[in-house]
Structure 1
Amino acid sequence: MKIVIIDYGAGNIQSIKFAIQRLGFTARLTNDVEEIKNADKVIFPGVGEASSAMRKLRASGLDMIIPDLKQPVLGICLGMQLMCNASEEGNTKGLGIFDLDVVKFPLSVKVPQIGWNQIGDLKSDLFRNIPEKSHIYLVHSFYAPIGKETLATSEYALPYSAALGKANFYGTQFHPEKSSTIGAKILQNFLELK
Protein backbone atom coordinates (compact mmCIF):
# COMPACT_ATOMS: atom_id res chain seq x y z
CA MET A 1 0.00 0.00 0.00
CA LYS A 2 1.35 3.44 -0.97
CA ILE A 3 0.75 5.92 1.84
CA VAL A 4 1.83 9.54 1.45
CA ILE A 5 1.95 12.39 3.93
CA ILE A 6 1.62 15.73 2.17
CA ASP A 7 4.69 17.84 2.85
CA TYR A 8 3.94 21.57 2.65
CA GLY A 9 5.96 22.81 5.59
CA ALA A 10 3.10 22.83 8.13
CA GLY A 11 3.03 19.44 9.76
CA ASN A 12 3.56 17.26 12.80
CA ILE A 13 5.07 14.89 10.30
CA GLN A 14 7.53 12.71 12.20
CA SER A 15 4.98 11.60 14.81
CA ILE A 16 2.56 10.61 12.01
CA LYS A 17 5.31 8.69 10.18
CA PHE A 18 6.20 6.80 13.38
CA ALA A 19 2.52 6.04 14.12
CA ILE A 20 2.14 4.54 10.62
CA GLN A 21 5.36 2.53 11.10
CA ARG A 22 4.02 1.11 14.37
CA LEU A 23 1.07 -0.22 12.35
CA GLY A 24 3.50 -2.03 10.03
CA PHE A 25 3.39 0.38 7.07
CA THR A 26 5.72 2.95 5.56
CA ALA A 27 4.52 6.46 4.76
CA ARG A 28 6.38 8.66 2.32
CA LEU A 29 6.64 12.39 2.90
CA THR A 30 6.19 14.25 -0.39
CA ASN A 31 4.92 17.34 -2.17
CA ASP A 32 5.21 15.64 -5.58
CA VAL A 33 1.84 15.95 -7.32
CA GLU A 34 2.06 12.67 -9.25
CA GLU A 35 3.13 10.76 -6.16
CA ILE A 36 0.22 12.20 -4.19
CA LYS A 37 -2.27 11.44 -6.99
CA ASN A 38 -1.04 7.83 -7.29
CA ALA A 39 -1.01 7.00 -3.57
CA ASP A 40 -3.52 4.56 -2.07
CA LYS A 41 -3.97 6.73 1.03
CA VAL A 42 -3.15 10.39 1.60
CA ILE A 43 -2.61 12.06 4.98
CA PHE A 44 -2.88 15.86 5.09
CA PRO A 45 -1.35 17.06 8.39
CA GLY A 46 -1.20 20.54 9.80
CA VAL A 47 0.09 22.41 12.81
CA GLY A 48 0.30 26.17 13.02
CA GLU A 49 -1.67 29.10 11.69
CA ALA A 50 -4.30 28.76 8.95
CA SER A 51 -3.48 31.67 6.63
CA SER A 52 0.27 30.94 6.46
CA ALA A 53 -0.43 27.22 5.92
CA MET A 54 -2.83 28.07 3.05
CA ARG A 55 -0.19 30.35 1.51
CA LYS A 56 2.25 27.43 1.51
CA LEU A 57 -0.37 25.15 -0.09
CA ARG A 58 -1.11 27.72 -2.80
CA ALA A 59 2.59 28.37 -3.47
CA SER A 60 3.08 24.67 -4.26
CA GLY A 61 -0.19 24.29 -6.22
CA LEU A 62 -1.38 21.64 -3.75
CA ASP A 63 -4.55 23.67 -3.07
CA MET A 64 -5.70 22.70 -6.58
CA ILE A 65 -4.74 19.03 -6.24
CA ILE A 66 -6.13 18.02 -2.84
CA PRO A 67 -9.87 18.65 -3.52
CA ASP A 68 -9.67 16.48 -6.68
CA LEU A 69 -8.11 13.42 -5.03
CA LYS A 70 -10.14 10.21 -5.43
CA GLN A 71 -8.50 7.96 -2.81
CA PRO A 72 -9.15 8.18 0.95
CA VAL A 73 -7.66 11.41 2.35
CA LEU A 74 -7.28 12.13 6.09
CA GLY A 75 -6.81 15.72 7.26
CA ILE A 76 -5.43 16.03 10.78
CA CYS A 77 -5.95 19.09 13.04
CA LEU A 78 -5.16 22.17 10.92
CA GLY A 79 -5.30 19.87 7.88
CA MET A 80 -8.98 19.17 8.64
CA GLN A 81 -9.67 22.87 9.22
CA LEU A 82 -8.10 23.82 5.88
CA MET A 83 -10.45 21.33 4.18
CA CYS A 84 -13.39 23.50 5.33
CA ASN A 85 -14.78 26.52 3.43
CA ALA A 86 -12.99 29.12 5.54
CA SER A 87 -11.38 29.83 8.90
CA GLU A 88 -11.66 32.88 11.14
CA GLU A 89 -7.95 32.37 11.85
CA GLY A 90 -6.26 34.91 9.60
CA ASN A 91 -9.55 35.31 7.67
CA THR A 92 -8.54 32.32 5.54
CA LYS A 93 -10.33 30.83 2.53
CA GLY A 94 -10.09 27.04 2.76
CA LEU A 95 -10.24 24.19 0.25
CA GLY A 96 -14.05 24.00 0.38
CA ILE A 97 -14.27 20.22 0.76
CA PHE A 98 -16.31 20.36 3.97
CA ASP A 99 -19.21 22.81 3.97
CA LEU A 100 -18.37 24.47 7.30
CA ASP A 101 -16.57 27.59 8.48
CA VAL A 102 -13.99 27.21 11.26
CA VAL A 103 -14.45 29.65 14.14
CA LYS A 104 -12.62 30.57 17.36
CA PHE A 105 -13.69 29.24 20.75
CA PRO A 106 -15.56 31.83 22.83
CA LEU A 107 -13.55 34.29 24.92
CA SER A 108 -14.95 32.64 28.06
CA VAL A 109 -12.66 29.60 27.66
CA LYS A 110 -8.90 29.22 27.79
CA VAL A 111 -7.33 28.55 24.40
CA PRO A 112 -5.80 26.53 23.05
CA GLN A 113 -7.64 23.49 24.32
CA ILE A 114 -4.68 21.21 25.07
CA GLY A 115 -4.94 17.66 26.28
CA TRP A 116 -7.30 14.73 26.40
CA ASN A 117 -11.02 14.90 25.70
CA GLN A 118 -13.79 12.46 24.80
CA ILE A 119 -15.41 11.82 21.44
CA GLY A 120 -18.97 10.66 20.87
CA ASP A 121 -21.76 10.37 18.28
CA LEU A 122 -19.36 8.25 16.23
CA LYS A 123 -20.26 7.56 12.60
CA SER A 124 -18.44 5.92 9.65
CA ASP A 125 -15.92 3.10 9.34
CA LEU A 126 -13.23 5.51 10.52
CA PHE A 127 -14.55 4.74 14.03
CA ARG A 128 -15.16 1.01 13.57
CA ASN A 129 -14.71 -0.73 16.95
CA ILE A 130 -14.01 2.57 18.73
CA PRO A 131 -16.15 2.90 21.89
CA GLU A 132 -18.23 6.03 22.50
CA LYS A 133 -16.54 8.42 24.96
CA SER A 134 -13.04 7.28 23.95
CA HIS A 135 -10.29 9.72 24.89
CA ILE A 136 -8.30 11.50 22.18
CA TYR A 137 -5.60 14.19 22.26
CA LEU A 138 -6.22 17.75 21.01
CA VAL A 139 -4.42 21.09 20.67
CA HIS A 140 -6.58 23.81 19.07
CA SER A 141 -8.04 27.29 19.50
CA PHE A 142 -10.45 27.11 16.53
CA TYR A 143 -13.13 24.52 15.78
CA ALA A 144 -15.56 23.36 13.12
CA PRO A 145 -19.19 23.58 14.31
CA ILE A 146 -21.44 20.54 14.09
CA GLY A 147 -22.96 20.04 10.64
CA LYS A 148 -24.21 17.39 8.24
CA GLU A 149 -20.62 16.16 7.61
CA THR A 150 -19.82 15.65 11.32
CA LEU A 151 -18.59 12.10 12.03
CA ALA A 152 -17.75 12.59 15.72
CA THR A 153 -18.31 15.28 18.32
CA SER A 154 -16.45 16.57 21.35
CA GLU A 155 -17.16 19.37 23.79
CA TYR A 156 -15.14 22.31 25.11
CA ALA A 157 -17.48 25.07 26.33
CA LEU A 158 -19.76 23.92 23.49
CA PRO A 159 -20.18 20.87 21.26
CA TYR A 160 -18.08 20.86 18.07
CA SER A 161 -16.98 18.54 15.26
CA ALA A 162 -14.16 16.25 16.39
CA ALA A 163 -14.21 14.58 12.96
CA LEU A 164 -15.68 15.32 9.54
CA GLY A 165 -16.32 13.18 6.48
CA LYS A 166 -17.58 13.57 2.94
CA ALA A 167 -17.11 11.04 0.13
CA ASN A 168 -13.41 9.97 0.23
CA PHE A 169 -12.41 12.85 2.53
CA TYR A 170 -12.03 12.53 6.30
CA GLY A 171 -10.75 14.91 8.93
CA THR A 172 -9.99 14.70 12.64
CA GLN A 173 -9.60 17.76 14.85
CA PHE A 174 -7.68 15.56 17.26
CA HIS A 175 -4.26 14.00 16.68
CA PRO A 176 -4.71 10.24 16.19
CA GLU A 177 -0.91 9.85 16.10
CA LYS A 178 -0.79 11.18 19.70
CA SER A 179 -3.97 9.49 20.96
CA SER A 180 -2.48 6.22 22.24
CA THR A 181 -4.16 2.92 21.31
CA ILE A 182 -7.46 4.59 20.33
CA GLY A 183 -5.65 6.85 17.88
CA ALA A 184 -3.67 3.93 16.47
CA LYS A 185 -6.92 2.04 15.86
CA ILE A 186 -8.45 5.08 14.10
CA LEU A 187 -5.36 5.34 11.86
CA GLN A 188 -5.58 1.61 11.14
CA ASN A 189 -9.28 2.01 10.27
CA PHE A 190 -8.34 4.80 7.86
CA LEU A 191 -5.71 2.63 6.20
CA GLU A 192 -8.31 -0.15 5.81
CA LEU A 193 -10.91 2.10 4.14
CA LYS A 194 -11.79 1.06 0.58
Structure 2
Amino acid sequence: MYGKLIIKAFIILSAAWLAYGAVNCTAAGRFADPADSTCKNYTLCVLVTSNNSYIGYNYVCPTTSLFNPITAQCTTAYSCNGTSTNTTSTNTTSSSVCTTDGFVADPTSTDCSSYIQCVLINGAFLETTLTCPTGTFYNPNTTLCEVNYVCAFTCTAAGRFANSADTTCQTYYLCVLTTTGTYIQYQYNCPTISVFSPVTRMCTTSYTCPTASG
Protein backbone atom coordinates (compact mmCIF):
# COMPACT_ATOMS: atom_id res chain seq x y z
CA MET A 1 0.00 0.00 0.00
CA TYR A 2 1.36 3.33 -0.93
CA GLY A 3 2.24 5.68 1.87
CA LYS A 4 0.82 9.09 2.24
CA LEU A 5 2.30 11.32 -0.38
CA ILE A 6 2.17 15.04 -0.06
CA ILE A 7 4.01 17.32 -2.39
CA LYS A 8 3.80 20.89 -1.25
CA ALA A 9 4.93 23.78 -3.34
CA PHE A 10 4.81 26.83 -1.16
CA ILE A 11 5.14 29.24 -4.01
CA ILE A 12 3.69 32.61 -3.20
CA LEU A 13 2.61 33.80 -6.61
CA SER A 14 1.48 37.35 -7.09
CA ALA A 15 -0.57 38.33 -10.10
CA ALA A 16 1.33 39.24 -13.24
CA TRP A 17 0.47 41.86 -15.85
CA LEU A 18 -2.12 43.46 -13.57
CA ALA A 19 -4.29 45.34 -16.04
CA TYR A 20 -3.20 43.27 -19.03
CA GLY A 21 -4.91 39.93 -18.53
CA ALA A 22 -4.75 37.55 -21.46
CA VAL A 23 -8.54 37.33 -21.31
CA ASN A 24 -10.93 40.21 -21.89
CA CYS A 25 -12.76 39.89 -18.58
CA THR A 26 -16.53 40.33 -18.66
CA ALA A 27 -17.32 38.25 -15.56
CA ALA A 28 -15.63 37.12 -12.36
CA GLY A 29 -13.91 33.74 -12.49
CA ARG A 30 -11.01 31.82 -14.03
CA PHE A 31 -10.82 31.57 -17.82
CA ALA A 32 -8.49 29.86 -20.29
CA ASP A 33 -6.05 31.97 -22.30
CA PRO A 34 -7.44 31.73 -25.86
CA ALA A 35 -3.99 32.31 -27.36
CA ASP A 36 -2.31 29.52 -25.38
CA SER A 37 -2.13 26.29 -27.40
CA THR A 38 -0.54 24.46 -24.45
CA CYS A 39 -3.63 24.90 -22.23
CA LYS A 40 -1.47 25.86 -19.25
CA ASN A 41 -2.31 29.56 -18.93
CA TYR A 42 -5.42 31.05 -17.42
CA THR A 43 -6.67 34.42 -16.21
CA LEU A 44 -8.32 35.21 -12.89
CA CYS A 45 -10.92 37.94 -13.46
CA VAL A 46 -11.72 40.06 -10.40
CA LEU A 47 -14.69 42.41 -10.14
CA VAL A 48 -13.81 45.98 -9.14
CA THR A 49 -16.97 47.10 -7.37
CA SER A 50 -16.02 50.80 -7.27
CA ASN A 51 -16.52 51.17 -11.03
CA ASN A 52 -18.18 47.84 -11.90
CA SER A 53 -15.27 46.77 -14.11
CA TYR A 54 -12.94 43.76 -14.18
CA ILE A 55 -9.18 43.32 -13.87
CA GLY A 56 -7.39 40.24 -15.20
CA TYR A 57 -4.47 38.48 -13.48
CA ASN A 58 -2.53 35.80 -15.38
CA TYR A 59 -1.47 32.46 -13.90
CA VAL A 60 0.19 29.25 -15.14
CA CYS A 61 -0.86 25.74 -14.10
CA PRO A 62 1.91 23.92 -12.19
CA THR A 63 4.15 21.18 -13.63
CA THR A 64 2.32 18.81 -16.02
CA SER A 65 -1.21 19.98 -15.20
CA LEU A 66 -3.42 21.77 -17.72
CA PHE A 67 -6.24 24.26 -17.34
CA ASN A 68 -9.68 22.75 -17.88
CA PRO A 69 -12.04 25.53 -19.05
CA ILE A 70 -15.09 23.49 -18.08
CA THR A 71 -14.18 23.06 -14.41
CA ALA A 72 -11.99 26.21 -14.36
CA GLN A 73 -9.26 24.23 -12.60
CA CYS A 74 -5.75 22.95 -13.23
CA THR A 75 -5.79 19.17 -13.60
CA THR A 76 -3.90 16.27 -15.15
CA ALA A 77 -7.15 14.66 -16.29
CA TYR A 78 -7.78 17.18 -19.08
CA SER A 79 -7.04 16.56 -22.77
CA CYS A 80 -5.57 19.56 -24.59
CA ASN A 81 -5.98 19.53 -28.38
CA GLY A 82 -6.45 15.78 -28.34
CA THR A 83 -3.37 15.15 -26.19
CA SER A 84 -4.04 13.85 -22.69
CA THR A 85 -1.68 14.32 -19.74
CA ASN A 86 -3.71 12.08 -17.46
CA THR A 87 -1.20 10.70 -14.97
CA THR A 88 -3.56 10.32 -12.04
CA SER A 89 -3.49 7.15 -9.98
CA THR A 90 -6.27 5.06 -8.51
CA ASN A 91 -4.23 4.65 -5.34
CA THR A 92 -5.59 6.29 -2.21
CA THR A 93 -3.77 9.53 -1.48
CA SER A 94 -3.85 11.78 1.53
CA SER A 95 -3.16 15.47 2.03
CA SER A 96 -3.31 17.86 4.94
CA VAL A 97 -5.45 20.20 2.83
CA CYS A 98 -6.28 18.79 -0.61
CA THR A 99 -8.85 16.09 -1.30
CA THR A 100 -9.56 16.83 -4.98
CA ASP A 101 -8.42 19.08 -7.83
CA GLY A 102 -9.40 22.69 -7.27
CA PHE A 103 -8.91 25.54 -4.83
CA VAL A 104 -9.26 25.59 -1.04
CA ALA A 105 -8.70 28.11 1.73
CA ASP A 106 -5.19 28.38 3.15
CA PRO A 107 -5.45 27.20 6.78
CA THR A 108 -2.37 29.24 7.73
CA SER A 109 -3.81 32.52 6.42
CA THR A 110 -5.43 34.67 9.10
CA ASP A 111 -6.70 37.36 6.71
CA CYS A 112 -7.97 35.32 3.72
CA SER A 113 -5.24 36.82 1.52
CA SER A 114 -4.00 33.45 0.26
CA TYR A 115 -5.41 30.12 -0.86
CA ILE A 116 -4.17 26.73 -2.04
CA GLN A 117 -4.38 25.25 -5.52
CA CYS A 118 -4.72 21.45 -5.45
CA VAL A 119 -3.63 19.27 -8.38
CA LEU A 120 -3.44 15.47 -8.28
CA ILE A 121 -0.27 14.33 -10.07
CA ASN A 122 0.94 10.72 -10.11
CA GLY A 123 -1.16 9.80 -7.10
CA ALA A 124 -0.05 12.73 -4.94
CA PHE A 125 -1.43 16.20 -4.47
CA LEU A 126 0.68 19.17 -5.48
CA GLU A 127 -0.30 22.01 -3.14
CA THR A 128 0.59 25.48 -4.41
CA THR A 129 -0.05 28.51 -2.23
CA LEU A 130 -1.32 31.52 -4.19
CA THR A 131 -1.96 35.08 -3.02
CA CYS A 132 -5.05 37.08 -3.88
CA PRO A 133 -4.54 40.41 -5.67
CA THR A 134 -4.14 43.38 -3.33
CA GLY A 135 -7.41 44.47 -1.77
CA THR A 136 -9.20 41.18 -2.42
CA PHE A 137 -9.92 38.19 -0.19
CA TYR A 138 -10.35 34.49 -0.90
CA ASN A 139 -13.97 33.38 -0.71
CA PRO A 140 -14.11 29.61 -0.06
CA ASN A 141 -17.71 29.49 -1.28
CA THR A 142 -16.94 30.77 -4.79
CA THR A 143 -13.19 29.86 -4.70
CA LEU A 144 -12.49 33.34 -6.08
CA CYS A 145 -10.67 36.42 -4.79
CA GLU A 146 -13.30 39.07 -4.12
CA VAL A 147 -13.27 42.70 -3.00
CA ASN A 148 -16.43 42.51 -0.91
CA TYR A 149 -15.79 39.21 0.86
CA VAL A 150 -15.67 39.56 4.65
CA CYS A 151 -13.01 37.28 6.05
CA ALA A 152 -14.20 35.29 9.05
CA PHE A 153 -11.14 35.33 11.29
CA THR A 154 -10.21 32.20 13.25
CA CYS A 155 -7.14 31.90 15.45
CA THR A 156 -4.56 29.42 14.17
CA ALA A 157 -1.54 30.83 16.02
CA ALA A 158 -0.83 32.90 19.11
CA GLY A 159 -0.35 36.65 18.71
CA ARG A 160 -2.06 39.81 17.46
CA PHE A 161 -3.62 39.88 14.00
CA ALA A 162 -5.26 42.57 11.90
CA ASN A 163 -9.01 42.56 11.38
CA SER A 164 -9.20 42.50 7.58
CA ALA A 165 -12.89 43.41 7.67
CA ASP A 166 -12.13 46.72 9.41
CA THR A 167 -11.48 49.43 6.81
CA THR A 168 -10.28 51.84 9.51
CA CYS A 169 -7.49 49.49 10.69
CA GLN A 170 -8.36 50.28 14.31
CA THR A 171 -9.37 46.81 15.49
CA TYR A 172 -7.34 43.65 15.86
CA TYR A 173 -7.55 40.12 17.24
CA LEU A 174 -5.53 38.70 20.11
CA CYS A 175 -5.11 34.92 19.98
CA VAL A 176 -4.11 33.15 23.20
CA LEU A 177 -3.03 29.50 23.27
CA THR A 178 -4.55 27.60 26.20
CA THR A 179 -3.09 24.64 28.08
CA THR A 180 -5.48 22.34 26.20
CA GLY A 181 -3.96 23.30 22.85
CA THR A 182 -6.91 25.41 21.71
CA TYR A 183 -7.04 29.15 21.09
CA ILE A 184 -9.10 31.85 22.78
CA GLN A 185 -9.90 34.80 20.54
CA TYR A 186 -10.32 38.41 21.74
CA GLN A 187 -11.05 41.55 19.74
CA TYR A 188 -9.60 44.92 20.75
CA ASN A 189 -9.71 48.51 19.53
CA CYS A 190 -6.61 50.65 19.16
CA PRO A 191 -6.75 53.84 21.30
CA THR A 192 -7.90 57.18 19.85
CA ILE A 193 -6.12 58.13 16.61
CA SER A 194 -3.79 55.11 16.45
CA VAL A 195 -4.27 52.22 14.02
CA PHE A 196 -3.15 48.59 14.02
CA SER A 197 -0.07 47.82 11.93
CA PRO A 198 -0.04 44.26 10.52
CA VAL A 199 3.74 44.59 10.12
CA THR A 200 4.66 45.34 13.74
CA ARG A 201 1.38 43.93 15.09
CA MET A 202 1.01 46.94 17.36
CA CYS A 203 -1.19 50.02 17.59
CA THR A 204 0.72 53.01 16.24
CA THR A 205 0.30 56.47 14.74
CA SER A 206 3.07 55.92 12.18
CA TYR A 207 1.21 53.31 10.12
CA THR A 208 -0.95 54.45 7.21
CA CYS A 209 -4.15 52.45 6.80
CA PRO A 210 -4.51 51.67 3.05
CA THR A 211 -8.30 51.94 3.01
CA ALA A 212 -8.44 55.00 5.24
CA SER A 213 -6.06 56.94 2.99
CA GLY A 214 -7.74 55.95 -0.27
Report the TM range for the smaller structure's normalisation. Answer: under 0.3
Q: Higher strand share goes to which structure?
A: 2
TM-score, normalised relative to structure 1: 0.22
- Higher helix fraction (1 or 2): 1
Structure whose CA Rg is larger = 2
Q: Which has the higher contact order (CA 8 A, sep 6+)?
A: 1
TM-score by length of 2: 0.21
